[in-house]
Amino acid sequence: MDLIIRRMKKEHWDQVKAIYLEGIKTGNATFQTDVPTSDSWAKGHIPNCSFIAVLGDEIVGWAALSPVSDTCIYAGVAEVSVYVGQNYKDKGIGKTLLEQLIKESEKNGIWTLQAGIFPENIASLNLHTKMGFREVGIRERIGKMHGKWRDIVLIERRSRVTGND
């Protein structure tokens, strides 16, 4: 079966939510402890930059961008989220989603992609590094999770296509 990348739509939410919940349960994907409603999630993400990965009739991963700020100076900076279902890890799905997200972000005038990744999430750090992201630094004790302070590795990717004037 071939992997197909499609734009995320509201009707995909139940499968997207299930994958998001798998990520939450790992304890190393996000500070979130609950999955938001589809409307709440949609309000915090850039509509043209949300994708699903489909095998057959099953959504096996998703990727999306959120604006980092409402301040106009940051209009070309977005936060990356990439999630792959637990049964589909290490099959190139995350890479394919991230490639699509990068292409679409550049079409939408986004010049910098960033992500904050837990240092324990080695697979995600490796994926982003392979896709041209670089480590900016460690944000130490940036937030508490289940009563424990956690660090994140702040990474970014600067476009070579847009924002170079």
Q: Are 5 and 52 in contact (CB under 8 A)?
A: yes
pLDDT band at 1 (very low <50, low <70, confident <90, very high): low
pLDDT (tens digit, 9 = 90+) per residue, 104-120? 999 999 999 999 999 99
- What is the CATH code for 3-158? 3.40.630.30
Above pLDDT 90, what percent of the chain? 95
Average pLDDT value for the chain: 95
Q: Where are the domains of the chain?
A: 3-158
Tell me the angle at which helices 93-107 and 122-130 cross, rounded to the nearest 10 degrees: 50
Can you list the alpha helix ranges (DSSP code H) found in 2-92? 13-26, 38-43
AA letter at 122: I
pLDDT (tens digit, 9 = 90+) per residue, 27-42? 999 999 999 999 999 9
Q: What is the pLDDT of residue 164?
A: 86
pLDDT (tens digit, 9 = 90+) per residue, 138-148? 999 999 999 99
Q: What is the pLDDT of residue 121?
A: 97
